[in-house]
A = this chain, B = another copy of it.
Amino acid sequence: MKFSPLVDALIQSLQCLPGVGPRSAQRMAFQLLERDRSGGAKLGSALQSAMSDVGHCGSCRTYTEETQCRICANPKRAQSGQLCVVESPADLLAIESAGQFDGRYFVLMGHLSPLDGIGPDEIGLDRLDQMLADGSWQEVILATNPTVEGEATAQYIADMARQHQVAISRIAHGVPVGGELEYVDGTTLALSFSGRQKL
């Protein structure tokens, strides 16, 4: 016990945040106590609601506390018949910010990684297969990360999608190989969409 039970508990629990060690947890705790108690209390309640209520969209698997996320719930987003497959909600957001794509998404929440026990079912490919089987899709755009795992995952999905009546493409230009899609700027992402190539 260094300060008092509540202050110690706060400093300790702040360290569950990525990149926050004991020193910066202490800084954060004192900063909130000193200058922003209402912000800290708001964060506390936001954390509790989100941790208990946020689940996954029943269609695309991204995070939402609703049955369907607002993209899947928007009928306009189904009109193009385009389905963009990404690894994470952050990737989805990066593509949305580029403002180029108006179709729907499928969020894998990861990528194939057999050594870690992450196979097709763990990233929802059984459900993606069912979706593609309903015949309402024109094109599957594979926007997994340009990493070894992301490429392998894209290849696996391409093979799977070929059993359905659907065009298959992979985003191309601009995304630097070995990089993380989430950090690419909007222009580069827009380029990578317009330059996509059929598989």
Closest to A28 in B: B17
A6 lies within 8 A of B53 (CB): yes
For chain A, give the interface size range: 35 or more
Interface of A is mostly: helix
In chain A, positions 29-47 with a C-beta closer than 8 Å to chain B are 29-34, 36-47
With both chains docked as a complex, state the minimum distance between the C-beta of A123 and any C-beta of chain B, in angstroms: 13
Q: Which residues does chain B contribute within 8 Å of A33, judged by CB atoms?
A: 50-51, 54, 63
B43 lies within 8 A of A45 (CB): no
With both chains docked as a complex, state the minimum distance between the C-beta of A90 and any C-beta of chain B, in angstroms: 6
Segment at the B interface, from A7-15, A77-85, A139-147: A7-15
Given A9-B49, A10-B47, A41-B51, 13 new contacts (CB under 8 A): A3-B63, A6-B49, A7-B64, A9-B46, A13-B42, A14-B46, A16-B43, A17-B32, A30-B63, A32-B47, A40-B50, A40-B51, A41-B48
